[in-house]
Structure 1
């Protein structure tokens, strides 16, 4: 039973998140892959993600998946890959709070109204609404500048994994990352230091070795 006082209760605090691009950031970039057997996580991904999770960040994947629009695979195949990824992460003590994918093709005229394909911020907004996230305290980590723009358009800070996957370098204020790192462990170190949230990710990783 509810009362008039229920509406006066303060909203629970929103959680900070680290939004993660999938291909080239969380896992090695195998174009249009939906085969769990080919799933390989990027170097030091587990250590970086565990440190972020321990510091209170929700971990959310936001990914463009135009292979669905191109009919290279279907949503069910992507979901199977997602479940395999979640199982691998869970075995390492890591929980994904969410997985959000844009199925649209780039520059398709019929998709002119798409708000979810990065560099648009729609996936991050969807996640923030569903998972009760604080975008101003959140970060976007990706391997190309479209990821950086999506994060900053959503109001997040950003880290570019500078691993050679960005080739165009079309720069603008929205496409200028707050930091450049070589892997997810370095990214976690930067995020934790900037957020004053916890000991460095590298230190936490060494404690578990």
Structure 2
């Protein structure tokens, strides 16, 4: 597991010990960032189920301006901090140990909306739609925000969540990626490009 591209390209990332955390594979991560980036310019990122921190760190490496990492697992929080140091992007990051729902309420106090949101919970959790809706309700999503939900292919999420519209749905094995973009409420006429070779898309 490594940083795929950007200023920290090639730097290895440590995994969380045990089997409670399922890191996004390099193959899926590379495909994901080709769809939402591939590079950024100062965006504010939220990695709500951080795990190893791989998604948020990849975004920072590719030009995002800052990132908030949240995980309830103390071992994961420690690994996130170590990976941030290894990638030399710790100065752009805040790391919190907290439950996702509680973290959303606490983040509201900061009053700063996020441009890019990663929701990659354990596959047993299927409430990312309600979490994204709450982030929007609490003013934590920027006007043109992108939200990425990583989930089991057996789990179905709606095409619209609040003002977020799903623009891509792709699968790699048992891993599915749903990409949502904030809209003004009107249906989008955007046509998404083909998913990179190796995945399936609907």
Which range, TM-score by smaller chain?
0.3 to 0.5
Q: Identify the structure with bigger relative contact order (alpha carbons < 8 Å, sequence gap 6+).
A: 1
Larger Rg: 1
Q: Which has the higher helix share?
A: 1
Q: Which has the higher strand share?
A: 2
Q: TM-score if structure 2 supplies the norm length?
A: 0.43
Q: TM-score if structure 1 supplies the norm length?
A: 0.42
